[in-house]
Chains A and B, each alone.
Chain A
């Protein structure tokens, strides 16, 4: 994210504070000095980790504080959740199962481990799914639930921490 802040004491801190307040994680702050800029302003590039829904909050707060956002970099998939599927995973077309998530555009399977104890025995697979935000993750889970029902697989989901 590139932002423009006034070149005055405390301005940078003011612009960065909301990031942690909304649950974002600041990974790097690059302070650019560009002589062609309007006087009394600085451009700061902030690299941060934040979920999609919270990014919207952050933008709103920064705007309210008078910080100009010059650009926001590529949106990445940041929410991850793992599930375990048990059953005849290979015989029921594993790539189709994975594809059902990948083709959504907002979620994808980013990690997979499969254990197959024997030819006719049920396999177990750990799938880690990444999604852009909570809502999309829930959509992806709903797709997986319906695929599991259809293919007669047992889907073991995670238990989220208490609010």
Chain B
């Protein structure tokens, strides 16, 4: 199966590395970062492209743009792994729409386009008879979308809640364990590479809110958007609050929850007993799905990281390969 990869950040590099190492029956015929691109219908030399990216910061030719690859490249599946833009969804949104319109499957890790235009994109994919898969957008390596769509098929989902942002979880773990202030824990998270220079997106709960929007649309196809989420971050929490929670043998975590019965989409810091299954440590994610048949199902795993997020992309690619390209 031929794929084109847009984006050579942590996720894109992870995907290319995994394919270079394991093969998995994929041929990469297009590859682009934000400024350069490569088109090679017979298959790009991935090791060479990765080496060049590492050495020069660019993977290909300045004359070839990402959109050119989308429009002219020879591929079955577009892997769109460019950074999230929550205002416009671009450049990912146009790339995804274009590929779908051309009858190509799309796999993405980009939250922006899905959180902004879930219905439109899904309708387009359905019209064209292709797949748009996005496992990597929610909780990194945890196969939560597969769980909802396939593993728990036939169940009625009553609620989904969990820890969907590793940066916040790391900060809260360190505040509780070491008595660090919020600022100290944030600085430490930056040093560890868990937090961005501008942490707003994570600590204000926006990243979690986007994931809730994607989950809500996945389950109920309700057209929910970011504006529907009641969102409180962790940036106003005090170390004293964590110490007070400790008195009740509890701790504080940033929880995202979707409860359709109450029309609820909420991100908020919450008090949880330490023995609660969602109380995971450091930068882990954990998510619980409550359904009518299965009861509560909880999945725990790494919510970010290059190869970890690539795992979700690869899973989507193999799903498409097995179910839609090869198997009938």
Instruction: List residues of chain A with CB under 8 Å of any chain B CB.
Output: 82-84, 86-87, 113, 115, 117, 122-126, 154, 156-159, 161-163
Contact = CB atoms under 8 A, between A and B. Distances in A.
A39 to B, nearest CB: 50
Contact of B276 (A84, A87, A123, A161): A161
Given A113-B247, A117-B240, A158-B270, 8 more contacts: A86-B236, A86-B241, A115-B244, A123-B240, A124-B241, A156-B241, A156-B270, A162-B295
A157 B270 contact: yes
B286 to A, nearest CB: 12
Contacts of A122: 236, 238
B253 to A, nearest CB: 8
B102 interface: no
A113 B296 CA distance: 34
A98 to B, nearest CB: 16
**Nearest 6 Cβ contacts at the A-B interface:** A162-B296, A115-B240, A126-B244, A124-B240, A124-B241, A159-B270
A124 B240 CA distance: 6
A163 B288 CA distance: 11
B interface, size bucket: 20 to 34
A26 to B, nearest CB: 25
Nearest to A128: B248
A126 B237 contact: no
B49 interface: no
A157 B244 contact: no
Nearest to A153: B236
A161 to B, nearest CB: 7
Q: Main SS of the interface on chain A? A: strand
B269 A156 contact: yes
B240 A82 contact: no
Contact of A83 (B271, B272, B288): B271
Contacts of A86: 236-238, 241
7 contacts: A84-B244, A117-B238, A123-B240, A156-B270, A158-B271, A162-B277, A162-B296
Interface string B7-30: 000000000000000000000000
B255 A159 contact: yes
Contact of B244 (A125, A154, A161, A163): A125
B241 A162 contact: no
A123 B236 CA distance: 11
